[in-house]
Structure 1
Amino acid sequence: MATRKDAAMFSSVLLVLVLLCGPWAGCRAHNITAILERYPEYSLYNSYLTRTKVCDEINAHETVTCLVLDNGAMSTLAAKCPLAAIKNALRLLALLDYFDPPKLHALPSGSTLTSTLLQTTGNEAGNLGFVNITNLRGGRVGFASTAPGSKFDSTYTKSVDKIPYNLSVLAVSAPIVFPGLFDTPTAASSNLTALLEKAGCKTFARLLTTSGVLKVFQDAMDKGLTLFAPMTKRSRRPMRRI
């Protein structure tokens, strides 16, 4: 038979669990990939969230709006961009504020500025990680980067799902881009070959470039890469871990 002491202990444990996992406790309030699994039309976008690990960044934020691309738009993006560039594009589609349809259509005239996951990266691209949200003609809502030369090619299509005031999933017509966004992988591949040459692996670096295998390593770099590279003859430097 349970004693009064046992009942008091059970109540204390229950209270601790409520405090630790309640919505006010800052626990993970959403799982974006699990939510999108219910919508097959966004399966390609969802798969790239997992491949790039942007899903972990989204889930780590208590308040976020995900601008998602359907399979057609995501396929177009994936066809022309390496994984590192896709990762930055997905980060730019994750707004660090809550926007649902009523809030979008209630925006005042002019543009509303909001930050994105790209802005939190701290690298050069992060300086361009802000998005303008603007009410366009005909009741449309457009999204554009704050970078010079950016256009409102991405427009709101529909609301997909939401957890009020924490997560909003909105479909948009196209990715948000700015000049140079997709050039990021070029710098990454240059850095890889430069590291190999500095480590005394010039011949191996040249073979990667001429054979086309460099792109395979380039796509893997964003998730972490350990590369065992043979050194050029007469070089006594140790192998480098990249």
Structure 2
Amino acid sequence: MKNYVLCVVDGKSTDHFVKDLASVGFLGRPRLYLSRANLLGSGAAKETRISGDDVDAALSAAASAGSGIVALRVNLDQVARVGTLLKNAKDELSSLKPLEAFTQFFSDYEYIFIRQKTPALHMTSNYFGAHGIKSPDDLAEKYNFEDSQIEFQRISSEYQGWRKFFDRFDIKPITLVYEECVESPDYVYELLRRLGADSISDVSNDREGLKRLTGPLKRDFLVKFKADQAEKLAMD
């Protein structure tokens, strides 16, 4: 079964996805294993060099913790950092640019891109979680268009950034859309099949599962946000 790079945009949906994948039993434990803090510990001196053996040991430990599967979770802005770490640690990657080093090192890995159906839905999930919105009164009190727009632009930019990364390196990721997977919780069986699992009959009965992130309150939020967006666009 293939190891995989889990390409994410931070948010509530991503957290639920990661927990569900980890709870399957043999889809690894998605984490950013290749960072200085994880490889050397937070107290390591700045001049301490990360070696190729350190990288190999970290991935071996990740496989042991993940039932033989390495699941490397990365945000878009972490790809170049990991690539830099790899090119400095591995002699065969030293002449490459960071993104090239990353894709070369993980050329045998499957790429999985997890996202929500639209950046606006992703923003809404994040905004509600960050501001603790649970009622109409909360929404009336805590809604702020400028803050929502900043988060929407960040998420839109990261979605676009991932697409450009995949296109640049001719990567064809498995894309998991949160809302679709909520409606089809057996998505993990198709994922296991595509990763080359010998058997797909032993998924844990204790799976975390995906929580529905939509509802009337969030729909009201989105209606107001889109109306404010249109108004601002008309004024500009």
| Larger RCO: 1 or 2 (CA < 8 Å, sep 6+) | 2
Bigger Rg, which one: 1
Structures share fold, TM-score greater than 0.5: no
Give the structure-2-normalised TM-score.
0.22
Compare the two structures and name the one with the higher strand fraction: 1
Give the structure-1-normalised TM-score.
0.22
